Amino acid sequence: MIVAMQEFATEEQIDTVIEKMVEHGVNVHRTTGASQSILAGVGPTQTIDLTVFEQMPGVMYVHRISSPYKLAGRGFRPQGTIIRFENGVEIGGREVVVMAGPCSIENEAQIHETARRVKAAGGKFLRGGAFKPRSSPYAFQGLGIPGLKLMHEAARANGLLTVSEVMEISQIDSMLPYTDLFQVGARNMQNFNLLRELGHLRKPILLKRGIAGTIEELLLSSEYILAGGNYDVLLCERGIRTYETATRNTMDISAIPMLHKLSHLPVIADPSHGTGKRDMVIPMALASVAAGADALIVEVHPNADKAASDAAQTLYLEQFEEMMRVVAAVAKSVGRSI
Ligand code: PEP
Ligand code: MN
């Protein structure tokens, strides 16, 4: 349920409503705007008589939300969520934030050269997998924490933030000092224990859509994180598996405006995994920004053809620089910047 307080309702009135909600066994999440507070209640709200709340002093309206994702739903924060990072970078505002780097962190030279070029071209995050979810157990599995340390050093030396995938709960603590944004990969979108644990962190989460995940399932997965009190979740469209085989995945551009309509959470697009082909990354990046993406994440490597993973979809450095130029033009045409 959502209880919208009247503008300038007193703290006492708000507290009384919260107490009443708690009395009914409801868990309350409060959002305070410039002049108005919204109380979102999660719990056994189906059986509550809403008129009890409607009549309380300071209440503007009460609404039962039928959608199963109460905290991720647009109604919880109609104005949208902006995720703020330490160095002033914001996702969900006017700027389209670009994250780029190799699929896997491989060595110091690779990650430093990438960091330098990503920064110079206007990227804000350095990406790189240290723990890799590979389809084959015999494929390169990543360098683990030593690799993540290398990426963190390269990122900080160039004024960049880091994003890397966490595959299991036991990795969280050791990743914390080196990770500004935790990625949950497509294969783990419904690893509910991991999501619940990430809900207790106070670091932003990039949640990828599963290869067979519906939009509703993606939002329900994000709800696991939000329910723990971590509201900084970035939803990622990275392509879904369909009957089409011409591309690695089918990039669902329509998911971007749909997610914006259904949820207040910012949306990031991944045209690298979304297509699996490097010559399709730029067109899909442009389409994503035109469709309202708040951020982009792409794979780029100084020696892309020899990348240890996902070489076919990895941009050459020059292609990434070209992408930044053309994405800036589209961003401008839709009232945004990079
Ligand atoms: C990745 O980012 O390299 C990755 C494995 O992504 P996904 O989970 O979307 O396949
Ligand atoms: Mn990859």
Q: Please give the Cα distance from 10 to 88 (Å, whole number).
A: 32
Q: Exposure of 174 by Cβ count < 10 A (0-12 exposed, 13-18 middle, 19+ buried)?
A: middle
Read off the pLDDT of each residue in 69-85 and give the average, rounded to a whole number.
95
Which tens digits make up the pLDDT trace of 228-265? 999 999 999 999 999 999 999 999 999 999 999 999 99
Per-residue pLDDT, 65? 78
Which residue's CA is the nearest one to ligand 1's atom 1?
A: 103
pLDDT tens-place string over residues 157-180: 999 999 999 999 999 999 999 999
Q: How far apart are CA 51 and CA 82, in angstroms?
A: 33
| Gap between the Cα atoms of 330 and 321, Å rounded | 15
CA–CA distance, 323 with 283 (Å, rounded to integer): 9
**Nearest in space to 39 (alpha carbons), one of 67, 6, 68:** 6
**CB distance 208 to ligand 1 below 6 Å:** yes
Q: Whose C-alpha lies nearest to ligand 1, atom 3? A: 103
Look-up of token digits 């990650």 = 111
- Whose CA is closest to 311, among 277, 275, 271? 277
Q: What's the average model confidence in pLDDT over 121-126?
A: 98
Structural domains in the chain, CATH included, are 2-66 (3.30.70.1140), 83-333 (3.20.20.70)
* Better-predicted residue by pLDDT, 67 or 327: 327
Q: Is 163 helix (H, G, I), strand (E, B) or coil?
A: strand
Residue 189: nearest ligand to its CA? 1
Give the integer Cα–Cα distance in Å for 313 and 331.
23
Distance from the alpha carbon of residue 240 to the mean position of ligand 1, in angstroms: 12
DSSP codes, 199-247: TT-SS-EEEEPPTT--HHHHHHHHHHHHHTT---EEEEE--B--S--SS
Q: What is the pLDDT of residue 46?
A: 74
The pLDDT tens digits of the residues spanning 37-51 come to 999 998 888 788 899
- Rounded to an integer, the average pLDDT of 266-275 is 98
d(CA 273, CA 208): 11
User: What's the pTM?
Assistant: 0.86
